[in-house]
Structure 1
Amino acid sequence: MYLTRFKYIPLIGTLMNYKKEYFSKDLIAALTVAVVVIPQSMAYALIAGVNPVYGLYTAIVSTIIASAFGSSNHAIAGPTNAIALLVASSLGKYMGQENVYQMLFLMTFMVGVLQILFGVIKLGKVINFVSHSVVIGFTAGAGVLIGLGQLSTLLSISIKDSAHMSTMQKFYYVMTHLSQTNMYALGLGAMTMAIIIVCKKINKKIPGALIGIIIPIIFIVMFSLDQKGVKLTGFIPSSLPPFKMIQFDLNVMQNLFGGAVAIAIIGLVEAIAISKSIATTSRQKIDANQEFIGQGLANAGAAFFQCFAGSGSFTRSAINYQSGAVTRFAGIMSGIVVALVLLFFAPYAQYIPNPCLAGVILVIAYNMVDKKEIMHIVKAGKFKSDSIAMFTTAIATIVMPHLDVAIYTGIAISIALYLKDTNKAPLKILLPSQEKNGHVIEKEVKSLKEKVDILIIQLEGNLFFGSAEDLQTKLDDLTDKSKVFILRMKYVATIDLTALGALKVFIRTVKESGGIVIFSGVKSEFNSLLINSHVTSDIGEDNIFMSENEIFASSTNALERAKSVLGCEIIDGKDKSAACNLLESEINTNVDSGIKNRNTAAF
């Protein structure tokens, strides 16, 4: 039984319920993940602009801590492509300084603290403001940047002072110096990419990246290609991640804060998206706030062991789940396996060719551009909010010098477009047809030209200050179109004082012109609000009909009131107006059956 008092330490709950048969499944999944994470973490370190060993350190410490404290049983954290690119962007102008690694670990700590803070104050739902389209756009743009940034390594073209150049500047330099290409390096990188692609087509479970690195090493040793200009990874220490105290500096923290916030946000978006995606199949309940805390602890703790910021990995998490992992111990054991490999096999890593790691990165970068999802968003509408947010974020990611600004731009545009879409007041106009069958015609406000005896206005959704102006405009256009107005309030979810103010103006304008407004289907929770805002006194209690359990009960009462106002009961049947015929038809139908066809007036 899971102990509630240990809800912030999920590992204890896993231990309490762990079974022997889980171990073999978790171990197999851990070994499979470790095979993938070793080449990936080294490649991501290169994207971040640091020595590959720091990628391995991150794959050990971050993975273990996040698996112990995260909400998901299957999500695998550690170095990722998008986060590595953000790290490189945030520290780009500091590269070459003596204290750049101290700044790197300090920023990792800051990212972790921010994520813990987000979790503690329960901002899990706030992550929804970062739309899916923004993430797709950023990921696609990041994929392009990563791919362009690795061309110099793939072609083995040396760029002087490259640490202070943007990706686009490096790309321009490469394109203008293609004559300096080392064909041996290009051949090895192409071999790695070909092996990965072929392995994926044969069976997705084959560790193509690892094979794509091991085979070229054979060529390096056999033909001494390192002496022909092919650059190797170099020495990697055979030791576990060493503990090192972070050097805190307020000025440095101030300079890194903007980048740390962007990394924290994108990292959490990735982690939550991965966890929820797997949970749709595993049926595990995901606590977003706990995932925030788990990711935060992973980054804050890893900062003391010379790690850069990480997040949940789509690839490794999917492999972990598909390999049969049952509990979070699979993630913990994968980190331990990587640690053992680093401890006993690190000397062999010095023969890994940099062009081969670039080949791995290029394949990853290509896969980052989610073509199916992009087409899905585009098909929904090229000029819709989602498409605009996606393309804007993607372009900003590619052309802007700082990726954190690109992310903030995408989020701001996404929120602005959302607010633009939500400042419209949902309003339907229902008119009686000229036939004596009780049918109702739905029309747009602007299309209503003639004056009618009775006008039914159905309000829907959230009526708040943002939509009050639109509501006021639409109602103003209707004030001279009828004598009797029925405002259907049944489908109004919320209403604030600003929106009520628009309704009050409408009520008074109608009364001054000799008409009447009737409220139908008013929810009980709105009653006190109507009284306190004097709407009840303005409209009159006789003209407010509360929502009732009986189907169409309040609407039937409102129709009876409208019938009385129009004087339908004193008119001979053959001379009755279309409105009176509608009222009698609707009242009789509602009383007899309580059910109405969707094509008629659904009150």
Structure 2
Amino acid sequence: MNILKFIPLIDTLINYDKKNFRFDLIAALTVAVVALPQTMAYAMIAGVHPAYGLYSGIVLTIIASSFGSSNQLATGPTNAICLLIASYMIPFAGSNNFFANLFLLTFLVGAIQFTMGVLKLGSLVNYVSHAVIVGFTAGAGVIIAMGQLNNIMGVSLPDPHLSSIGKVVACLQSIDKINYYALGVGLFTITIIIISKIINKNIPGALLSVIFSVVLVMILGLEELGVKVVGQIPQAIPPLSMPNFNLSAIGDLGTGAAVIAIIGLVEAVSISKSIATKTQQKIDPNQEFIGQGIANLVGSFFSSIAGSGSFTRSAITHQNGGKTRLTGVLVGLIILIVLFFFAPYARYIPNASLAGVIMVVAYSMIDKRALVKVTTTNRNDAIVLLVTMLTTIFAPHLEQAIYAGVAVSVILYLKDSAVATVRTLETVSANNGQFIEQLARKNDTAVAIHQLEGNLYFGSSADLDKKLSDSFPNSKVYLLRFKGVSIIDITAMEVIETYIDRALKEEKKVILSGVTPNILGMLRKMDIVDHVGKENIYMEEDEVFASSEKAIEHANSFVRSVSYTSENRSVQAY
């Protein structure tokens, strides 16, 4: 049973319904058709030979499908992750141990993800808001497109490690050196993809455009005219590799690995949950963490770059009827077969064609609907999205965009949560015990009823103090209703204690209602129970407003007794 729990593929195979195989195979063939050019193009984004994208598309896809939670999630190289990889590998560019460090990065990403899954930290992805992901993805789409401008123009860069903006500037400065054959191949690729989508979304436009471009290169001899091609791709299974387990390299890549790991997990879990809303599958984020972690760990020893869940390939899996996780396993095997038998032809794939594929992908990364929804629905989310997107485009390091987005999210949340909710209630005279809510009024009432709500903590304590201090200075009784309080910390409790002490010194009566056991414990520890008196504290009850009804009746009795005493004194004095 433990094996079935930790290796979901075994459970799938044991209970596999043969009727599903046709659907899984058709979906796998369709996904593989898309994955072939995509994985190669993404490897170029990462700054490595397209073959490493194919290796990752084989190993990561098979392993993640075997150990992950989702039946439809397609794992492998993704645009955002590859962009991060390129950013963190810049310091190692040109070094003898570049690939050993690249595979170390893959290993570290996997180790972090696996550890988070084992420690059941799946809920942590919830702290990266949707606005951050939309902004980061949109910004990544922009810089990915800018980063491929030189390939589609056929222009050589003075420094291959320039930033995306630097590449654009270099291309503009070299605009007189455009290779129009390369530009034509790139535009031809984009046109084929667009036309294919218009005719039928199921047509593999990316693959067709790459195949047509290969034919053009071979027939017209475009390589001799300056059109750069992918070059030799090894005709073999993913070769074994050894990460560089050097403490200095681990220290250099640790931060980047953590960022890639978290972004990858957010991508994977978000995609899985999105598809699960349609398939009704229950997703276990912790198991998905483990699956992604094992995939990257194993991939690091088979020449794979770090990967995550791909929205495009996962959506295709679902749309084409993929029923089980066997679809992902079949995708990896199909790519392996293609790599083994058709690698000699892949060397003629022009870089401009892959750049065209990447540009179309980059455009599709900018989720226009999500941008409109986020920017028009909530002002804070719009700010977070804009900050994240601009930081992604202009910051020197991509992780800074995530840090900035999360930081702004937290700051705006704290700003909004610094407002304490204190509502003034009064009884409806026609129906004793009922309440209506209204804004605090300056006119005085004998019994001032204040309902505290939400999270009362140090951030909102100043606002809580102001609102309580401004309330009905001439009331005879202050009734504080705690029923709506979710969380309260000692700072907020000290504000309430000061308010109560001030009221008691002014010979006011204080009554507390809707008190939960947890709040009562805090009141006792702060000696508030002794100051107020046990008889003036009413615990919460199952019946709505039952506690408050008793408290109000007590308050009204006190007011009547005070009024009666005052009238007697007046008569005696007269």
User: What TM-score, normalized to structure 2?
Assistant: 0.94
Other-structure match for 2:315:
318
Other-structure match for 1:591:
none
1:219 to 216, 219, 222: 216
1:77 to 67, 75, 78: 75
Other-structure match for 1:594:
none
Greater mean alpha carbon deviation, residues 202-211 or residues 355-364: 202-211
Other-structure match for 2:530:
537
Alignment of 1:536-575 (within 5 A): 536-567=529-560
Amino acid at match of 2:117: G
Query: 1:242 and 2:239 equivalent?
Result: yes
Query: 1:467 and 2:490 equivalent?
Result: no
Quick check: 1:243–1:305 contact (8 Å CA) kept in 2?
Answer: yes
Alpha-carbon distance in 1 for matches of 2:190, 2:475: 72
Other-structure match for 2:342:
345
Alpha-carbon distance in 2 for matches of 1:31, 1:96: 37
Q: Deviations over 1:437-490 (max 9, x none)?
A: 889664445xx3333322221111222333333322321222625222221222
Alignment of 1:491-506 (within 5 A): 491-506=484-499
Alpha-carbon distance in 1 for matches of 2:414, 2:297: 35
Match of 1:548, SS state, is coil
Quick check: 1:450–1:481 contact (8 Å CA) kept in 2?
Answer: no
Q: Percent identity?
A: 49
1:412 to 383, 386, 407: 407
Other-structure match for 1:152:
150
Match of 1:325, SS state, is coil
In structure 1, stretches of 5+ residues that fail to align are 572-603
Q: Per-residue deviation at 1:287?
A: 1.0
Other-structure match for 2:200:
203
Query: 1:252 and 2:249 equivalent?
Result: yes
Match of 1:7, SS state, is helix
Other-structure match for 1:9:
7
The change in CA–CA distance for 1:462 and 1:511 in structure 2 (over 3 A counts) is same
Alignment of 1:7-86 (within 5 A): 7-86=5-84
Other-structure match for 1:290:
287
Q: Per-residue deviation at 1:5?
A: 5.7
Amino acid at match of 1:26: D
* Count of matched residue positions in the alignment of Structure 1 and Structure 2: 563
Alpha-carbon distance in 1 for matches of 2:139, 2:156: 25
Other-structure match for 2:93:
95
The change in CA–CA distance for 1:481 and 1:128 in structure 2 (over 3 A counts) is farther
Other-structure match for 2:133:
135
Other-structure match for 1:577:
none
Other-structure match for 1:232:
229
Quick check: 2:103–2:242 contact (8 Å CA) kept in 1?
Answer: no
Amino acid at match of 1:399: F
Greater mean alpha carbon deviation, residues 461-470 or residues 549-558: 461-470
Q: Deviations over 1:267-315 (max 9, x none)?
A: 0110010111111111111111111111111111100011111000000
Quick check: 2:442–2:472 contact (8 Å CA) kept in 1?
Answer: no
Q: Deviations over 1:147-206 (max 9, x none)?
A: 00101000101112222x111111111112211111111111111111111111222111
Quick check: 2:103–2:241 contact (8 Å CA) kept in 1?
Answer: no
Greater mean alpha carbon deviation, residues 494-503 or residues 228-237: 494-503
Other-structure match for 2:417:
422
Alpha-carbon distance in 1 for matches of 2:403, 2:473: 46
Greater mean alpha carbon deviation, residues 244-253 or residues 45-54: 244-253
Greater mean alpha carbon deviation, residues 137-146 or residues 177-186: 177-186
Q: Deviations over 1:86-114 (max 9, x none)?
A: 00011123212222111111111111111
Match of 1:482, SS state, is coil
Query: 1:268 and 2:265 equivalent?
Result: yes
Amino acid at match of 1:533: M
Amino acid at match of 1:149: G
Quick check: 2:268–2:310 contact (8 Å CA) kept in 1?
Answer: yes
Amino acid at match of 2:413: Y
Other-structure match for 2:393:
398
Alpha-carbon distance in 1 for matches of 2:157, 2:236: 32
Quick check: 2:442–2:471 contact (8 Å CA) kept in 1?
Answer: no
Match of 1:119, SS state, is helix
Q: Per-residue deviation at 1:49?
A: 0.5
Q: Per-residue deviation at 1:431?
A: 4.4
Quick check: 1:479–1:509 contact (8 Å CA) kept in 2?
Answer: no
Amino acid at match of 2:23: K
Alpha-carbon distance in 1 for matches of 2:5, 2:529: 49
Match of 2:229, SS state, is coil
Q: Per-residue deviation at 1:239?
A: 0.3
Quick check: 2:102–2:243 contact (8 Å CA) kept in 1?
Answer: no
Q: Deviations over 1:217-276 (max 9, x none)?
A: 222222212221111111111100011222211111111112111111110110010111
Alpha-carbon distance in 2 for matches of 1:115, 1:496: 34
Other-structure match for 2:569:
none
